[in-house]
Amino acid sequence: MADKVLVVDDDATICAMLTSILRREGHEVHVALGGEQALAMEQREKPDLILLDLILPDMDGVDVCRRMRHQTSAPIIILSARADVVDKVVGLEVGADDYVTKPFGAQELMARVKAVLRRAKRQVGPVSDDEVLDFGDVRIDRARHEVVVRGESRTLTRKEFDLLRTLAANAGRVMTTQALLREVWDCDVAIESRTVDVHIGRVRSKIEEDRKSPQLIITVPRVGYKFVPPNSVAVQPRRERSASGTSQVATSTL
């Protein structure tokens, strides 16, 4: 079955160009020329991917993205002439999965489309032993796309969920920014490392008791991030006496 793509842009020329590119790749395309129309069409058509311009006649695209994220987990790629870092960060903070600056090439766009669709489809499949990661106070259920922290359900976007689950599946290990980009964004083309930082901040705001003093997702300066299971006990070196009576350092293991 062809993937459904919703194109949201008030420029008829761009819509025609995107429709042609996407249909050539085998996608079913629906077009909305404004924000309200896009929100209604998303509810009706249930697209697998949304390409969203930020400059729309009736609503700001950021508001559309924010509202879209409350009604769908489908990946959203923002297409915008706004190239400022602030605009990109805001777009990612309200729920976009990627941000492509206009003008863009067809090859780059399709690489990003394929990457986000491929990642989204990996969520669908038979249940396996690693579908549920249970750390006591934190439980991550892949099949249900559910995160429970200290007994309370937390709502995460698809990308936030993928990021948290990747870190949790590698609990105790430091994940570099580059590794997270590969695992979570499945990069075919480069995505700014700031993308990871922004999404980490969003996940922390939803699962940490105090996002300014995180205990679950720890920053390892100049390297990346690490998930520390709740209630984990730090292993401390202890001093033991050798047969010769000299003091030696030994490390306990759990």
Whether the upstream peptide bond of residue 237 has omega within 30° of 0, thus cis, is: no
What do you get for the CA distance between the two ends of the chain, in Å?
49
When the pLDDT of each residue in the chain is averaged and rounded to a whole number, the result is 83
Shortest CA distance to 224 belongs to which of 254, 251, 184? 184
Of the segments 42-46, 116-120, 154-158, which one has the largest average pLDDT value?
A: 42-46
Pairing between β-strand 132-134 and β-strand 138-141 as defined by DSSP bridges: antiparallel
Task: Report the share of the chain in percent with pLDDT over 90.
Answer: 51
Residue 78 burial by Cβ neighbours in a 10 Å radius (0-12, 13-18, 19+): buried
Shortest CA distance to 142 belongs to which of 123, 126, 156, 158? 123
Helices (H), the chain: 12-24, 35-45, 61-71, 85-93, 106-121, 158-169, 177-185, 194-207
Q: Coil, strand or helix: which one is 30?
A: strand
**If you count them, how many residues does the chain have?**
254
- Averaged pLDDT, 114-143: 76
Q: How many other CB atoms are found less than 10 A from the CB of residue 8?
A: 30
- Averaged pLDDT, 216-241: 71
Domains and CATH numbers, the chain: 4-121 (3.40.50.2300), 129-227 (1.10.10.10)
What's the pLDDT score for residue 182? Answer: 81
Could you tell me the pTM of the whole model? Answer: 0.64
- Averaged pLDDT, 28-51: 96
Q: Coil, strand or helix: which one is 96?
A: coil
Please enumerate in sequence order all residues whose Cβ is within 8 A of that of 70, keeping only pairs 6 or more positions apart, or say none.
Answer: none
Q: What is the CA radius of gyration of the chain?
A: 22
> Whole-angstrom Cα distance, residue 201 to residue 191?
17
pLDDT surpassing 70 at residue 71: yes
pLDDT surpassing 90 at residue 138: yes
> Whole-angstrom Cα distance, residue 6 to residue 15?
10
Q: What are the tokens at 181?
A: 């980009």
Higher pLDDT, 115 or 65: 65
The dihedral over CA atoms of 238, 239, 240, 245, expressed in degrees to the nearest 10, equals 180
> Whole-angstrom Cα distance, residue 225 to residue 222?
10
Please enumerate in sequence order all residues whose Cβ is within 8 A of that of 144, keeping only pairs 6 or more positions apart, or say none.
Answer: none
Q: How far is CA 164 from the centre of its chain?
A: 9
pLDDT surpassing 50 at residue 245: no
pLDDT tens, position by position, 46-55: 999 999 999 9
Residue 31's pLDDT band (boundaries 50, 70, 90)? very high
Q: How many other CB atoms are found less than 10 A from the CB of residue 48?
A: 20
Q: What are the tokens at 244?
A: 């010769």
